[in-house]
Amino acid sequence: MVVSYRTLNRYATTELGFGQRKTTVRVADCDPGAEVQVDFGRLGLLADAADGRRRVVQGPIFTAVYSRHMFVFPTYRQTLNKVIAWFEAARAFFAGVFAVVIPDNMKSIVDKADATDPKLNDAFREYAQARGFAVDPPRVRSNPESNAVFPT
């Protein structure tokens, strides 16, 4: 029997499951409003309105764990005052505060990233307590002091 490649591919896909992804381990999602992940990244180049030169725009990306809704706040700097402004803007966007915030070990929030005992910035910890959310920094993969690798 002679058939085209497309016919053979269609048969192998529908009847034999060829090329389909296998189911991976499912992660149990939290309840709505329970967790938000905050990653800080480079967003691109943008002309600065103040002086007209192109500058690197960075920003936090707030991702609600349950719904996967995202909030992005473009900025040029990552200071503690800016971080608190981002969290206030995200609180307004999501219409409330999440119970747990998982930041991306931002230097303005986490003074010392550690696999077992991370140190939070005192001012940000006080802000979190005033707003009523817990901060759970992610574990680091390695400890630069010992060069030991830790599982995440």
- Predicted confidence at residue 89, as pLDDT, reads 92
125 burial via Cβ count (<10 Å: 0-12, 13-18, 19+): middle
SS percent in the chain: helix, strand, coil, step 5: 25, 30, 45
Q: 126-142: per-residue pLDDT in tens?
A: 988 999 888 887 766 55
Q: Which residue has the higher pLDDT, 8 or 30?
A: 8
- Predicted confidence at residue 28, as pLDDT, reads 65
Judge whether residue 26 has pLDDT over 80.
no
- Predicted confidence at residue 152, as pLDDT, reads 42
Token pair listed for 96? 């409330």
pTM as predicted? 0.67
SS3 state at 130: helix
